[in-house]
Structure 1
Amino acid sequence: MTAQNKAKWFKFLILILGGGTVYKLANLKDAFYVPMQEFMGLSHTQIGLLLSANAIIATGLFVVGGMLADRFDTRKLIPLGLIGTGALGLYLATFPPFSSLMLVFCLLAVCADCIYWPALLKAIRGLGNDQEQGRMFGLLEGGRGVVDTLVAFSALGVFVALGSGEHGLKAAILFYALIDIAAGVLTWFLLKGNQAQAQTSAKNPLANLMEAIKVPAIWLVSFNVFMVYIVYCGLTYFIPYLKEVYGLPVALVGAYGIINQYMLKILGGPAGGFIADKHFKSPSRYLKWAFLALLPMMAIILLVPKSPGFIYAGMAATLSFAFIVFSMRGVFWAPMGEVGIAPHITGSAFGIGCLIGYAPGMFAYVGYGALLDHFPGQQGYNYVFVAMMLLALIGFAIASRLQRLVRKAAPLATAATA
């Protein structure tokens, strides 16, 4: 491995460290939902309001974040987002009143989703050439899963070690905050000379955004991400499905949840990246056929007999479906490199992509949940799963159109390189 390659992968690991920690405070409920209620005095409604406020601000600022990534050096934006997130965590650990918590969760969206995330995506794209985009983004997703798991369990260990009470929760929040600050400081000092820094253009950020809006390829990539993400949201309902329909024991619920949320993220992202680059030679081509592969997998889930004797078959079928989806999540940003987005509008392109691509988080769970509430039991799950199949079919059509665009763009890119 050359010195240049070693430097590239070292920078990549530094970026992964921040990517796996920056959202821990905004998603504190993942590991500490009940302690938040007990020791911070929050109701279900109040926790929901905090999460909704964070999601709304994040969605509204993704495009602004993309403009910032085009205007400023990503080496400055990434540490700023991490250190800002950590500073908010230090205040969060004081258990402020609910009105202040609302402000904190809104500012967490500013730091993580506006300042940090589009800059990270641009930095990752800049680390690899167009033939490496699948691997880079796949390893980003897998690496984030590893860091995410280690940090989450470490914080849980701090909480338990200090008695699983109020002091334990404050210590866990401080742990998250200090990890973010440390990652920000490391990023600042260790990413010097980063090849992925933002390239300032003679145009202003708004002009870059308007230029990006006029590029059809950016919209195709964005809606491709949208379709992957809306199917991904449906994975949440595999756990209650197995519990209600197959009588999944409580002990297996925890094990299944860990595999479904952590192990598949760690394995699926890198697998998708390497398959897309090495076998399919194109992330967009891989996404097209992966969408199609979801259809027979969901058909198997629907056809597995619904009795306790087939519980392991049901688990295997749902986990196989989820693995494909996680492999798609690992590469759904990689086509940004394939379609030849100009470097000076890369940040704006990712901003538009995040705005559209992550939008299902605001309504998909409500839609799936409404189906299950209106049609209790097996019927409701059948409707949810059929809806996921139809969405995958639409995704296949969008990914097919995207791949055709990539094929047309390839000869032009080759000629330009020559």
Structure 2
Amino acid sequence: MENNNSKKWFTLIVLILGGGTIYKLSSLKDAFYIPMQQYLHLTHTEIGLAMSVYGIIQTFGYIFSMYISDRFSKKILIPLSLIGVGVTGFYFATFPGFYGILVTFAILALFGEVAYWPVLLKAVRLLGNKDEQGTMFGFLTAGRGVVDTIVAFSALALFSFLGQGARGLRGAIIFYSVITIIVGVISYFLLEDDKILDVDENGNKIGKNKATLHGMMRALKMPEIWVLSFTAFSVYSVYCGLTYFIPFLKDIYAMPVTLVGAYGIMNQYGLKMIGGPIGGLLVDKKVKSAARYLRGAFAVSTIAMLIFIILPHKSMSIYAGMALTLGFGVIVFSMMSVFFVPVEEINVPREISGAAMSIGSLIGYFPAVFAFTLYGSMLDRSPGMQGYRNVFMTMIFFSVLGLVISSILVRMIKNKNRKLTSEQECTA
């Protein structure tokens, strides 16, 4: 048992390494937005279009993930995705033209989202038993935050060492590419092969392709998966609003430029390290239900944001503003870390975990297609405090929506457990 436990945590570490490196190229703008404009000759609109191409491929690609993630082993898909992203990065480092960059982001989305993300979620779910899901997903989020931070700062250091020009940007891209490929090779040798089922739920042999398609249909017909997916949708809609705490503190609190970078790193990476374990441990050790935890967290986030809106921000200390916004971010990241954990509570068969995670990702991450445009347009239409108030009220709306949907999910789980208990008693 001790060996199995060590093996489980070792596998999680390997998965964390991949999860913390594979998205560095597709999120190059996070650390190198200005150099991308200068040396790739991109406008704000062109960078936005590249991200839109990525988001479109990501969103609709999850439809294909329902088949891919349960049909092929993680030992193949995870290394292939990592190496594919790394190789694409070498083309990116040639500084292609605008259309070449659009193609680059489309390929990064295919490898990083369609072939990788649902498989990663499935692999983490299958690592732990029912009582460990929160802990597993919580430490996945925290671990990715640690790797994100180390890799991003290393690339920044290399960029600075190479002169902070075109040579530095190319070096940073190649660095990301090499690291991703290395992790892909490591993953191939350290991850175990999955057993791909070739039977239906009644044990009848039907072949791997047919079994996978049959599993997709089973997942699509489970109403609990759809309710769970829209719970994740609500969490992610609130999460998108965290981005606007940065300009809020700069515009309303006059945050010094020297603090903007430090706050941004903490807002995007540091909160993963804090919120991930908090959410995971509370779910497994205290609340004993991710669905109930999400319902409670939605209620807390609604109340917290209502209080935040009415505070006298223009007369408050910048450090008070930073503390309050980061505190709210911890709540949101604790929810982000566990919003797929109820897959275990709704008793999704483990052989269709990939299809379930793909549906959850399709719906859950869909706000990336519209939320940033929605929030940004609010600020453009109403500059100043009124615009930010509109953003925060919209975040409250999504929190209330999540509270309602997660309450439905809790009720569905309760009814399903009651039905299973009744069936077991009748059988006995």
Shorter-normalised TM-score: what interval? over 0.9
Structure 2 length-normalised TM: 0.93
Partner in structure 1 of residue 155 of structure 2: 155
Tell me, which stretches of 5 or more residues in structure 1 are unaligned?
Answer: none
**CA separation of 1:172/1:409 partners in 2, compared to 1, >3 Å: closer, same or farther?**
same
Mapping for residues 111-150 of structure 1, pairs under 5 Å: 111-150=111-150
**Is residue 2:40 matched to residue 1:33?**
no
**CA separation of 1:199/1:117 partners in 2, compared to 1, >3 Å: closer, same or farther?**
farther
In the TM superposition, what whole-angstrom CA distance separates every residue of 1:254-277 from its partner, at most 9, and x where no partner exists?
Answer: 232222112111110111000111
Amino acid of the structure 2 residue aligned with 1:53: V
**Is residue 2:314 matched to residue 1:290?**
no
Q: Distance in 2 between matches of 1:205 and 1:363?
A: 32
Partner in structure 2 of residue 182 of structure 1: 182
Amino acid of the structure 2 residue aligned with 1:78: I
Preserved CA contact (<8 Å) 1:297 1:320: no
Q: Distance in 2 between matches of 1:10 and 1:197?
A: 20
Preserved CA contact (<8 Å) 1:140 1:269: yes
Give the 3-state SS of the residue equivalent to 2:184 in structure 1.
helix
In the TM superposition, what whole-angstrom CA distance separates every residue of 1:156-186 from its partner, at most 9, and x where no partner exists?
Answer: 1111111112221111111111111111111
Instruction: Report the alpha carbon displacement of residue 200 of structure 1 after superposing the two structures with TM.
Output: 4.5
Partner in structure 1 of residue 395 of structure 2: 388
Partner in structure 2 of residue 239 of structure 1: 246
Q: Distance in 1 between matches of 2:380 and 2:47?
A: 21
**Is residue 2:395 matched to residue 1:377?**
no
Instruction: Report the alpha carbon displacement of residue 376 of structure 1 after superposing the two structures with TM.
Output: 1.8
**CA separation of 1:178/1:130 partners in 2, compared to 1, >3 Å: closer, same or farther?**
same
Instruction: Report the alpha carbon displacement of residue 72 of structure 1 after superposing the two structures with TM.
Output: 1.0
Amino acid of the structure 2 residue aligned with 1:161: F
Which one of 374, 390, 396 corresponds to residue 367 of structure 1? 374
In the TM superposition, what whole-angstrom CA distance separates every residue of 1:11-62 from its partner, at most 9, and x where no partner exists?
Answer: 0000000001111111111111111122222222221111111110111101
Structure 1 length-normalised TM: 0.95
Q: Distance in 2 between matches of 1:413 and 1:262?
A: 41
Mapping for residues 95-110 of structure 1, pairs under 5 Å: 95-110=95-110
Amino acid of the structure 2 residue aligned with 1:65: S
Preserved CA contact (<8 Å) 1:65 1:347: yes
In the TM superposition, what whole-angstrom CA distance separates every residue of 1:60-97 from its partner, at most 9, and x where no partner exists?
Answer: 10121131111111211111111111111111111122
In the TM superposition, what whole-angstrom CA distance separates every residue of 1:197-242 from its partner, at most 9, and x where no partner exists?
Answer: 5545433433322221110010011001000000000111111112
**Is residue 2:284 matched to residue 1:266?**
no
Q: Distance in 1 between matches of 2:154 and 2:195?
A: 32
Preserved CA contact (<8 Å) 2:65 2:358: yes
**CA separation of 1:4/1:121 partners in 2, compared to 1, >3 Å: closer, same or farther?**
same
- Alignment coverage as a number of residue pairs: 416
Partner in structure 2 of residue 173 of structure 1: 173
Give the 3-state SS of the residue equivalent to 2:337 in structure 1.
helix
Amino acid of the structure 2 residue aligned with 1:360: P
Give the 3-state SS of the residue equivalent to 2:21 in structure 1.
coil
Instruction: Report the alpha carbon displacement of residue 416 of structure 1 after superposing the two structures with TM.
Output: 6.8
Give the 3-state SS of the residue equivalent to 1:331 in structure 2.
coil
Instruction: Report the alpha carbon displacement of residue 345 of structure 1 after superposing the two structures with TM.
Output: 1.7
Partner in structure 1 of residue 346 of structure 2: 339
Give the 3-state SS of the residue equivalent to 2:307 in structure 1.
helix
In the TM superposition, what whole-angstrom CA distance separates every residue of 1:354-383 from its partner, at most 9, and x where no partner exists?
Answer: 111000001011111122222221111112
Q: Distance in 2 between matches of 1:151 and 1:123?
A: 23
Q: Distance in 2 between matches of 1:347 and 1:198?
A: 11
**Is residue 2:247 matched to residue 1:252?**
no
Q: Distance in 1 between matches of 2:171 and 2:275?
A: 32
Partner in structure 2 of residue 303 of structure 1: 310
In terms of mean alpha carbon deviation, does 46-55 or 304-313 score higher?
304-313
Preserved CA contact (<8 Å) 2:69 2:119: yes
Moved over 4 A (4+): 411-418
Q: Distance in 1 between matches of 2:196 and 2:226?
A: 22
**CA separation of 1:320/1:329 partners in 2, compared to 1, >3 Å: closer, same or farther?**
same
Preserved CA contact (<8 Å) 1:208 1:345: yes
Q: Distance in 2 between matches of 1:283 and 1:59?
A: 25
**CA separation of 1:198/1:29 partners in 2, compared to 1, >3 Å: closer, same or farther?**
farther
**CA separation of 1:318/1:57 partners in 2, compared to 1, >3 Å: closer, same or farther?**
same
Instruction: Report the alpha carbon displacement of residue 190 of structure 1 after superposing the two structures with TM.
Output: 0.6
Q: Distance in 2 between matches of 1:17 and 1:173?
A: 18
Preserved CA contact (<8 Å) 2:197 2:211: no
Preserved CA contact (<8 Å) 1:66 1:114: no
Partner in structure 2 of residue 11 of structure 1: 11
In terms of mean alpha carbon deviation, does 299-308 or 132-141 score higher?
299-308
Amino acid of the structure 2 residue aligned with 1:146: V
Q: Distance in 2 between matches of 1:327 and 1:198?
A: 32
Preserved CA contact (<8 Å) 2:54 2:106: yes
Preserved CA contact (<8 Å) 2:15 2:120: yes
Partner in structure 1 of residue 202 of structure 2: none
Partner in structure 1 of residue 330 of structure 2: 323
Q: Distance in 2 between matches of 1:43 and 1:253?
A: 22
Give the 3-state SS of the residue equivalent to 1:307 in structure 2.
helix
Partner in structure 2 of residue 54 of structure 1: 54
In terms of mean alpha carbon deviation, does 65-74 or 298-307 score higher?
298-307
Which one of 231, 236, 240 corresponds to residue 224 of structure 1? 231
Q: Distance in 1 between matches of 2:299 and 2:413?
A: 19
Q: Distance in 2 between matches of 1:368 and 1:115?
A: 30
**Is residue 2:171 matched to residue 1:164?**
no
Tell me, which stretches of 5 or more residues in structure 2 are unaligned?
Answer: 200-205
Percent identical pairs in the alignment equals 50
Partner in structure 1 of residue 413 of structure 2: 406
Amino acid of the structure 1 residue aligned with 2:29: K
In terms of mean alpha carbon deviation, does 84-93 or 247-256 score higher?
247-256
Amino acid of the structure 2 residue aligned with 1:216: P
**CA separation of 1:198/1:10 partners in 2, compared to 1, >3 Å: closer, same or farther?**
farther
Q: Distance in 2 between matches of 1:152 and 1:319?
A: 20
Q: Distance in 2 between matches of 1:55 and 1:132?
A: 31
RMSD between aligned alpha carbons?
A: 1.8
Instruction: Report the alpha carbon displacement of residue 344 of structure 1 after superposing the two structures with TM.
Output: 2.4
